[in-house]
């Protein structure tokens, strides 16, 4: 199993790199050989060479930088997702996959368009707090932390149901989004370290 940790140096808030370590350990426990490969700007790589893709959370500025870097790779990434291979985007990294991102100054960036949701940022306060979610594909609740300055609207089928904490926007009962085996969530902690059932589920995906 080869895990691609993309933008490991730019999207590296909250110790989220530990998600790849948890995934590697779960894969090894399942009897798989596992390697984590780190790639960033200027590196050559092909998504098809990997079995799992991970991008973590970054600053709002860095998010816009990787969005522009990913544009030429949009179709290749979409082909990867449509092939059924798994990926995990945590924090604000998954916001680049939507229709638009509007920053706190009112400037709008075109997203990669994998989803139809729209993200709006604001700079007055950050929404933070503990979170408890439920997934229909897992038995146990998920726990973690939310820290973001954005609202996401237009997700009809969220990844998780909110038990406690912040959803895609204030008052929303859903959080995150999924396309095939591409999982997207603002849940940090790191999410896979704190939720071994989710980690094991992802490690078993082909």
Task: Residue 150: give its domain's CATH number.
Answer: 3.40.50.880
What the block records as the tokens of 169 is 């926007």
Domain membership of residue 11 as a residue range: 2-203
pLDDT band at 14 (very low <50, low <70, confident <90, very high): confident
Burial 102-111 (b: 16+ CB within 10 A, else e): bbeeeeeeeb
pLDDT, averaged across the chain: 96
How large is the average pLDDT for residues 54-83? 97
For the segment 72-129, what is each residue's pLDDT rounded down to a tens digit? 999 999 999 999 999 999 999 999 999 999 999 999 999 999 999 999 998 767 889 9
Number of domains in the chain: 1
Residue spans of alpha helices (H) in 6-87: 18-29, 60-70, 74-82
Question: Which one, of 117, 108, 115, 184, lies nearest residue 154 by Cα?
Answer: 117
Q: Give the pLDDT of residue 188.
A: 93
């Amino acid at each position: 199993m080869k895990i691609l940790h993309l933008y490991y140096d730019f999207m590296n808030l909250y110790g989220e790199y530990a998600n790849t370590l948890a995934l590697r350990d779960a894969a090894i426990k399942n009897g798989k050989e596992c390697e984590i490969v780190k790639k960033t700007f200027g590196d050559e790589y092909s998504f098809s060479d990997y079995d799992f893709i991970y991008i973590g959370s970054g600053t709002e500025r860095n998010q816009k930088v990787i969005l522009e870097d990913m544009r030429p790779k949009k179709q290749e990434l979409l082909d990867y997702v449509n092939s059924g291979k798994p990926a995990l985007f945590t924090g604000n990294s998954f916001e680049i996959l939507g229709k638009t991102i509007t920053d706190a100054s009112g400037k709008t960036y075109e997203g990669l368009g994998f989803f139809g949701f729209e993200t709006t940022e604001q700079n007055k306060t950050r929404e933070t707090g503990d979170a408890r979610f439920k997934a229909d594909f897992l038995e146990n609740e998920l726990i973690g932390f939310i820290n973001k300055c954005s609202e996401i609207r237009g997700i009809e089928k969220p990844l998780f149901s909110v038990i406690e904490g912040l959803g895609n926007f204030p008052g929303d009962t859903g959080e995150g989004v999924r396309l095939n085996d591409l999982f997207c969530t603002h849940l940090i902690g790191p999410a896979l370290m704190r939720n071994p059932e989710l980690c094991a589920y992802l490690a078993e995906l082909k």
